[in-house]
Structures are given as structure tokens and as C-alpha cells.
Chains A and B, each alone.
Chain A
């Protein structure tokens, strides 16, 4: 126990020093479960940041069928209901936010402070929210809390039970 406390203190100190270097980043790992179902389609997945009061800060990633003719893929964006309501329907997505759907397995993505789409994030408590919606399947939302900026390397995780597996967030100063 004492050892942990000491380690944390050291991490906090070094984090404080490194914070000034502005290399902070946010790494997210999302497990997309492999499902044995009659008809499988990769899920649409959105990731966004929420403040403590539940309001959305910005969208970080949307994985969907963006290559379909006549933008048909947009038809199902609203199935990520929480994201659509809080951010998607009213937000102009920053460059690099959208990408193709991803295969089952552990999917990683990272965001750099100062660069799009994360940009300059005010200090505070946030939730990284991941929502997955699958055609002829279900929908699930996982929230992982974190503090920004990190004083040291900070990790937190959450877990889905149907459409999402483990979601982990690592914030580095």
C-alpha cells in the first residue's frame, strides 16, 4: 500500500513536469466482441467526450460505412442514439473523425492534445463515451471517467456486456 502511494506521488511529480511539454495524449482501446450470430455486420461506433453534467464536449471518432453510394451509410448514424442526440445531429465533425467500421478484436486509437479532433481541452473531469450500434443487432454505451490533464500516466477502464467488450482509456501528461 505504501509502495503504491509512493509510486503515485512520483508519477504525479513527473507528470506535472511533463505536462508543460504539451505532449499530452489520450489513448483509447475498445474491444469489439466477436459474436456468433446468423447475420453479422460490424457495428457503427462513436466516441465522444462528456462533461460531468452529461453534456457533450466533442466527437472524437465515428466508425461507419462512409463509402456507400449516395452517403447511404449516414442513414444509420442516428442508431447511435445517445451520440446522435448529444453531438452527432448538431456537430460539424472535425477532420479525421470519421473512419470505416472496424473488425472484432481490440481496436486502438489515440488523440493528441492540440491536434484535431481533441484540440485544447480545458482542465476537468470527463467521461470518454463509446457507443456501438449494430445492424440487426443491439446497442450499448460504455463510459470511462478520466481527469484532464493527467499528472502522471492515468488509466481507467469500463466494460460492456453485449455490443462492447473492455474499453480502456490511458491519459499521459
Chain B
């Protein structure tokens, strides 16, 4: 019969232990979990991205309800345990549930420390610990302006950065003279402080909070020196304390935390403890890596595997604030018998500190340049004498042995248990084993089999170096053109990260992919903006500040700073009423040039910026909308007169052109898309040099694509021949959607086709009928949000400030 296992607590540590248990010993235990929080297990480390808006709660759930059901685990949500009866071997829940156990795991975690100063119980004072705290902060950010964070450690600074991104005015109060004084010496603390200030976050050090002000809700904070700071919310992030009370009350041995041995047993052999509530070898841990190690050992102990033992952990941590690189590992406290090696380069904003005890490296702090973090962490964990390395140690692996190590040698030097992929927890040994066992030769293969570099992709370079190391000359590295100087990643890497990592803002992308600049550049921002729009059409809001001016103002800037305006003439067909309206607009706004374009439309050139809304309003009133002549999206659909008038016409090419234009306009694409429909093979609409072209024949429609007639001249190739107009429209929509999802920003269709291959495109949009319908469905979904006339929006007053000066300084004032 299954043994009864009861678990108190449902955080990340017991979650990992459960995973190991259900994988290694399915059915061996009848499991009941008491969870004080009213929800499933989630990734607490990711609370900062939830706070800053880069992720939602759903994104950080580790095990959903279905998972517990599938494994037959009873999860009691919102049910804290009030007592453990060790004699009767039962635990009692707050709701009166009494659960008997054969084995018990105590994983009660820790509580944030709330400093008991006056006002600490006011509404609006929160810790930064669980989802409820994040919710409270978000509510405050939605209505209030000012936030105070007490505590300038890792958690406090992440909270401050998140609240700032939510638009609040944030002040960090820190008791010590410099930030993160446990990790950084004063000079480095100052570098960090400057970096925070640069992000618009106020930092006050040596700030002793005297009282939190307010009657029922927080209104501010008073410091010992009398200063008062406005606050709609106060976040206390000053540390955590293990929750050992329940265990202590039941007579289990407790010091600061619950004492456990190497197999995670407490003083009662049927009770194990793990996670932040446990104390092993005199240390309580608060980081996830050691908790996971404990979880594995606890699971092994429960299923009778005596080989597993926990020997304590060396920990490493990273500050998750975009543009600030801070890494610390091991034990870097000042202590007798310890020596330091420090490298400081204030001009580059780099600081490195190594702590050495005897012959061993025991701690490392890197600020500004954290590239060597993994190498130092390895040395610390390896616990070997550093000997002659010492002289050059601080310069990192590149300087050892006098020569710069190529990346292959650098990864070769790492130990097998060095973690390569942080997202999926894949170590070097796992990757090498997969390469050898499965005969992998490509990055894609490693991703498929190990998940390494398959999430955010930051470790792609290391995985490639490992492939090169394992395969030697047999490995041909793929060459990736980086998006821009802000990153080493290519366009496809960024897109994959957006898709797989569920990244939903520019900031989230830059954060997750360790962008080198704080807010990107004119190359990467528009690209990321497009990728986000394409991936999340309903959720992502276009960032106009990441748009080139033409797309922001729905008009084309000319060399003198005026603009040109092109209304849609569907399929190149117009009417006396439209022509009259265009003529009236040209007169009314003194538009100097009216010209017919190559795409069968009419261009109004030389419009002053401040006149744009007026021009659009008049054109709108005559039923005309933006022609998107500025857009990376559908431009024109050029047509000939076709069977309606032409004696050679085989089909209604004009009608089909209008149908296509009305169906396809709106959604953004990687680059501009021009179409044409010719009514017969004489091809008067010049369809065979367009991005997408249709040539009508007696028996149906030839769909062409991948033509170009600009800098580069290239005829189209035939994608498919179809019998009906409806099929024709469907294939074209699928083609456009595939290009939208797969094309790199600014890559025209002909270049995209050359890169991915004609056969692949045919397979996806012609041969695979189901796949084609799915593409069309995604295209139509995107259109729901994209088919909005931008002119009408602007006429209605959207971002009206674009068209008016901030101020006008008259002559007299300037002459004073």
C-alpha cells in the first residue's frame, strides 16, 4: 500500500521534490499538500518580471491544477497547518482537517522581516514576498504616484526598478552608507547608486526610517533627520526569517531554522525539512539553486536512495535590472585571514572583487562586466588551490596561460556540472552527453534534446562553443548577423525568445536577452516593436516612440521636412467625387505638388506637418483612408482593367485587386509589400516584378511572388496555380502571414524566399492545407486589431501633441 506523505508548504522547493518523486517513484506515495497561499505552485524568482509587467501570473505558474490532478496529489489551497502531532503522526489544518502521515516534509519557507516602526501596520505597507504583495504594489501603481522601498539589497532594488517601470516616482531608503554593502565595497556601491539614479530612481543611504506616516493608509515616510518623503506605498525589503515556529512547537530541534542533516532529516526520522525554513551546516539559504539541491536529496531519501547527500551550497546571484550587470558568488564577507583582489575601472564602470582564503577563491563580486562570472563560480565550487593563477586571476580565463582563450577552450575548461542554460537548468555534462548519445551536430539538435538555449537564447554562444569543442572540425558554426550593436543575437534568436519566453514588451525583451544598451537604438527598437506586434496582436500595444517618423505620422517625410500624403485608391480605381476632394484639399492647404505614383495612386507632396490632421480630416470626409504609402505593410495593389473592358482580359483583375487590397491592408509586415493583378499574360499591371503578383489566365490564377524592381531587379517565381478567386485570396493571405511570422525585420519577400527556400514556402502555404488555414486564421486575427484607419484616429485627436509646438517664443522675448 502507498505510504502517506504529507507536505506542509507549496513553494518552489517542495514543488521540485514532488517532480522528482513522481518521476522516480510513481504511485509509491499517497500525497497531501497543505498550502497557506490560495493558489498553485509558481516561480517566486519571477515576481520581479510580473511586477514590472514583463510577465503575467499565468506565465510563472510551475504546476497548474491539472498537474496535481494528473499525479493524484491532494492540494489543499489556503489551508495553513496549525499543529504537528508527532506521537499520533498527524498534522492539523486551520480548517480542522487532520491528515495522518507516514512521512512528513516541512517546507514552511520564510517570512519577510517587517521592521516594527510606528505605522508599519498601515494599509499600503507591504513586503516583497508573494503574489499578494505584487498585487498590492500594482494597485498602488495604478492610482498613486510615489513609492518608497526600504532596503537597498537585491530584492529592494528589483522592486524599485519594477515600480519605476510601472510609472511611479521611486525612492530607495537604505540604512547603510552604500547599496548592497554585503556584496559591494563602498566604491562599487556608489557605481550602483549612480546607475539607479540614472534610471530615475532616488536613492537615500544612511536613511534610518523613523516612522511611516498616515491615518489609515500610508501617505509618507519620515526619516530620523526629519526629512519626509511622499509615499502611496511602502515596500519593506530588508530580509527574511525562516518559518521554524510550527516545527519548534512540535518539539523538532530548531536553531535559526529547522536543523537538518545531509539527507534532509530533522531530529525526527520521519520528518524532513527543506527550503528556506531549513538550516544545514549552520546556514539558512534563500536562493533557489540550493533549495532545488535540497529537494532532490529529500526526494531520494524518501524513496530509499541512500547515495544522495546534501553537502551545502555555494551560491551565486544576479541582479535582474536591465542595463545593470551585477553578479556575486560564494562568500564575500570580510573576515580574518581573508584577502581581496580588486580591479576598478571607473571610466568603464567596471568593478571586480575576488575574496581569497588561504589558497582558495571563496567569493567573487563582478559589476559592469560579468562575463567571467561562471568561470569564477566554478573555481569557487571546485575548491582547489588557485596557486599560480593568482597573479592574473582577476583578469579572468582569457588571461590565464598568457594567451586569450578562444571560446571553445573556455568552455572546455568548465567542469561538467557548470550550468550552461540558466532558463532550463542544463549543465555542460548534460549537453555533452546528449551530443555524444544522440549524435547531435547542430544547435537545433541540442535545443530539441536538452532544451539548452531554447528559451531566452542568451547562452547560445556557449552551446555553440560546446558543439565545436565536442565535434572539433566536424562542426560548422552557423553565422549570425546580430540585430544591431546592442546585442550579439540575431533576428531569429530574438523572435524565438519573444515567442517561447512569452515576452510582451520591448523592455522585457531587452531584459531577458541582456541587451547591452539601456533602451536600444534606432535599429533594434523598430524591429522588436514589429516582432511583438506580430506575435501578440491582441495584447501588445504599438510603441510609437519605436517607429520611424513616417510610420508615426502616417505620411512620408521629404527632404525639406514637409510630408507627402497618399490616400488609398482601391485597386487604382477612383471616382470624380474622390478626385474633387483631392483637388479641394490641395487648394485649401496650398499643397505645391500633386503627382501620380507608380502604384496607381495620387501623391500630395509638400504638406506642412501641422496641416496633416486637416488634410486627413477632409480626405476622410470624402470616404478616403490612409494609403499606408509609408508602411512596412501592404502598399498598393496595382491592377489592369481586365475582363470588364479589355478584349484580351481573362478574369476580373480589377475586382480581384480591390478585393485583395480591402482584405490585406492594415497588418504590419517585416518590410513593404506591393501587389499587382494582371488580367492576362500580357501582364499590363507588371505583376511579375512585385512582392506578390497574380496573373490571370483562362483556367484560373497564377500566383507569383518574390519579385523586386528597385535597387535589385528580379522576376517573380510561381507559387501556385489555383482555379478560383477564393483560393487565390486564401493562398496569398497564408503567404503574407508566413512572411510576417518568419521574415526578418526589413527583409523583403524576395530576400526572405532566398533565405528559407522556395520549396519550404510551397510546402507550407500550398501543399499543407491545414497549415494554410491556420496561417489564414492567424492573419485574420491580426487584422481584427490592425484594420483601423490611422488617419481617422489622428483626426479624432490621438497624440495631437505631435502636430503642435511645445511653445512659441516671440521675437521680443528672445531679444531681451
A and B associate: no
